[in-house]
Amino acid sequence: MQTKKAIDVAIIGSGMGGAAFAWQLLRKTAGLKIICFERGGWVDPSQFPTTDFDWQSSALAAWSANPNTRLASGGNVYSADYAVEDKGSQLKPLMWNAVGGSTINWSAHFPRLHPSDFMVRSLDGVGVDWPITYEELEPWYESNNRMMGVAGLAGDPAYPPGLMPEFPPVALGSMGVRAAQAFEALGWHHWPVSAAVLTRSREDRQACNHCGPCSQGCSTRAKASTDITYWPHAIELGVELRTHSVVTQIETAAGRATGVVYRDKKGCEYRQPADVVVLAGNGIGTARLLLGSGIGPNSNQDPLGANLMMHPVAYVRGFFREALDGPVGPVGCCLYSHEFYETDKARGFVRGLQLQITRENSLLLQALRTVPAWGKEAQIMVSEEFRHSMVVMVMTEDLPELHNRVSISRDVACDGLPEVSIDYRPAANTDAMLLFGMDRAEELLRKAGAYRIVRQPYPPMTGWHLLGTAAMGTDPETSVVDPLGRCHRIPNIVVCDGSVFPTAGAVNPASTIGALALRFADRLARDFQ
């Protein structure tokens, strides 16, 4: 195996965490030699299926959010996928493997955690406290917002003061207005979402034109993804982004990482010595590589690979006599309510949930909801539902449990890494939260005028958030990395992606992942100075 010239920092993964880290580190320490290894290549926005007539069915095949579905359909040249065995998981893992990582197909809802999310053990006696606070992370949330470009409305009373989105909020549309009226009538908190979506054009990114299927890529570049936000700046500073390069091993000696082994597009293997190895392969990819490199587990209580959190959700859908514009607009970005976010023990559970009004399905996806029904009745159902529905997504807090985990097998997959599987089942507290949330969603939909309501708890294709498998903490027995992302066992390995979340909160994670990565890179930069 050929050995390459030694570098200062090897980063693995170019998604939310890896991109923010690379940019920040070189910005703060000019002259470092940094290479980011990314298993996928660059995506070409002109190839996104949203300009094709079969854009709806492509979401069920090569442009599915699920890597196993993409592989089963013959693969997608724009995502270098690996199979994830998920029989033991109630939720299917969703991700994208290319420059930009899962921000290529994410929905760009960009909320922050609440201050209480960082202290769930102290406040509510469950999970663990984060080793950092909201206040400590706040400046990094701000920097991340500036880089990504965020639309929203200042003054949300569900958060500490100071959030100032740069762009005006995404339009609500008739469905959003109707939901807002219902929230108002119930006296419940509701607010236009923070969205990493431009509502006015900026530089080479156009304003969102509300086309709808953000999860199949955004050809206007209105939706922030790190290939178009962080990466051009990081590359200009001098970071090398080595695409089509799968890291198969982290090499260690005498308690230190010495570099990585990677495989290029042709299958040739190289040794890349590095002073520091930074992992940003997401909650599955990072654990897979750490486990495959023999960095754990040391016992069946080992936190490495364990504590997988996936943010279980329910959809509650209401149907209306009047036409609504549900399928129009960025899919994750309409309204949210944090009325039930904080703990109220009278509800029979601890922690809480968000209610999110998301946009609706395309005609085909709406019709497929009715399978296995067929015949005229099924067709009538579709005609009652399409353009006449509103969906409330209930997203609950997710807490760490050792049995929810990423594991590897002895068999080697075709990318040179061990085969990987996940096990995940929600806890009883989550069941209670979800039930409460579905009741509230139903109350809201009735208030909005729905004449029929359908509940869908734990829909499988909702494993968007892959968190917690290399959790951050101060105790090496119960956490994998320290408060600066450094591995307790091997301090020159840093993890800067969703894996480090000690608990998950009840909001989407990417803005926190970016903020953490910026903070960790800033601290590492000080070590180099």
Partner 1 sequence: MMNRSFAATVASTLLPGGELANGVDVPCAGRLIDEATMSQWIAHDDAKAAVEAILDEAGGARAFVELPAARRADALRVAEAGHGSAFDKLVTELFKLYYEHPTVLAAFRWRSAPPQPEGHDLKGFNESRFERVAARGPIWRNIV
Ligand X SMILES: Cc1cc2nc3c(=O)[nH]c(=O)nc-3n(C[C@H](O)[C@H](O)[C@H](O)COP(=O)(O)OP(=O)(O)OC[C@H]3O[C@@H](n4cnc5c(N)ncnc54)[C@H](O)[C@@H]3O)c2cc1C
Cβ 329 to ligand SF4, closest distance in Å?
A: 6
Q: How many CB atoms lie within 10 A of CB 204?
A: 8
In angstroms, give the least distance from the CB of 210 to partner 1.
Answer: 4
What does 527 interact with, of ligand X, partner 1, ligand SF4, none (CB < 5 to 8 A by kind)? Answer: none
- Per CB under 8 A, 169 contacts partner 1: yes
Q: Alpha-carbon distance 398 to 506, whole Å? A: 7
| Complex with partner 1: residue 31 or 375, whichever CB lies closer | 375
Q: Which of 192, 212, 292, 327 is in the footprint of ligand SF4 by CB under 6 A?
A: 212
The neighbouring-strand residues paired with 76 are: 79
Among 218, 357, 438, 448, binds ligand SF4 (CB under 6 A): 218
Looking only at residues 98 through 157 of this chain, which bind partner 1 when binding is defined by CB under 8 A?
114-116, 119, 123, 153, 155-157
* d(C-alpha 200, C-alpha 512), whole Å: 24
Strands lying side by side in the sheet with 405-412: 84-89, 418-424, 405-412
Residue type, 144: N
- Residue 367 as a binder of partner 1 (CB under 8 A): the answer is yes
> Nearest CA to 520 among 101, 97, 132, 112?
132
- Residue of 92, 210, 388, 447 that binds ligand SF4 (CB under 6 A): 210
Rounded to the nearest whole angstrom, what is the least distance from the CB of residue 333 to ligand SF4 in the complex?
Answer: 8
Which of the ranges 212-220, 240-248, 305-313, 461-469 carries the binding residues for ligand SF4, by CB under 6 A?
212-220
405 touches, from ligand SF4, ligand X, partner 1, none (C-beta below 5 to 8 Å by class): none
Residues 306-345 that bind ligand SF4 (CB under 6 A): 330
Handedness of CA 36, 40, 46, 49 (dihedral sign): negative
User: How many CA atoms lie less than 13 Å away from 377 in the CB half-sphere?
Assistant: 5
Q: Which does 282 bind (CB under 5 to 8 A by kind): partner 1, ligand SF4, ligand X, none?
A: ligand X
Strands (E) across 282-381 are located at 313-319, 335-337, 353-358
Residue 170 DSSP class: P
Taking the C-alpha atoms of residue 105 and residue 97, their distance in angstroms, rounded to an integer, is 10
C-alpha–C-alpha distance, residues 208 and 212, integer Å: 10
Which residue in 137, 172, 193, 214 binds ligand SF4 (CB under 6 A)? Answer: 214
Return the one option of ligand X, ligand SF4, partner 1, none that residue 223 interacts with (CB less than 5 to 8 A, by type).
ligand SF4
Q: Which residues bind ligand X (CB under 6 A)?
A: 12-18, 37-40, 65, 80, 94-95, 97-98, 101-103, 105-109, 215, 246-247, 280-282, 285, 289, 332, 464-465, 497-498, 508-510, 513
How far apart are alpha carbons 516 and 117 in whole angstroms? 15
Return d(Cα 276, Cα 8) in angstroms, integer. Answer: 6
| Binding partner selected for residue 510 from partner 1, ligand X, ligand SF4, none, CB under the kind-specific 5 to 8 Å limit | ligand X
Q: Which residue from 222, 246, 427, 434 is in contact with ligand SF4, where contact means CB under 6 A?
A: 222
CA distances from 316 to 272, 337, 438, 443, 460 (A): 50, 14, 6, 10, 15
The single residue among 126, 171, 432, 525 that binds partner 1, judged by CB under 8 A, is: 171
- Reported as half-sphere exposure (CB side, CA atoms, 13 A), residue 200 has a value of 6
